Amino acid sequence: MVEDKDIASENTEENARNSIGENGMRDKAGKFLKGHKGLPGAGNPYWAQVHQYREEFRRGLKEGDITSVAKMVSQKAKDGEPWAVRELFDRSMGKPQQTIDMTVSGPTIDEIVADYNSAAIDEGGGAEE
């Protein structure tokens, strides 16, 4: 058990050294330096498992599998299956750009500020401009 503690403390010290400045990725405060975003998958605790699943999936594919699936989806789209049409277009041309309607009805910011300032002046205060 003592050996385990020593190894753990060595790893902790090494991690601390690597995470702060000595490896060139972080500053003395521990923040990432410009251009360094961290380790791949550092935000996802299941990254290694997901990576393993993807590799197993790729190894399971045979030559021509992707082509045959693409042909099947294409045929389903031709047959009128909405999911296949959407998938075919999304994968071949990219998903449509999502837009947000920013139309607002009501007073503008300038009108709100003017109303606030006039109300504040009436009360003896007011915002500095």
Say what the pTM is: 0.39
| Phi, then psi, of 111 in degrees rounded to 5 | -65, -40
Q: Which residue shows structure tokens 């990219």? A: 94
Res 40: pLDDT: 60
Helical residues (DSSP H) of the chain, grouped into ranges:
2-17, 47-60, 65-78, 82-93, 109-122
Cα 112 → chain centroid: 36
Contact by Cβ (8 Å): 16, 9: no
Task: Give me the residue spans of the domains in the chain.
Answer: 62-95
In this prediction, what percent of the chain has a pLDDT beyond 90?
29
Residues 63-115 pLDDT 10s:
899 999 999 999 999 999 999 999 999 988 988 888 887 777 888 888 889 98
C-beta atoms surrounding 89 within 10 Å: 13
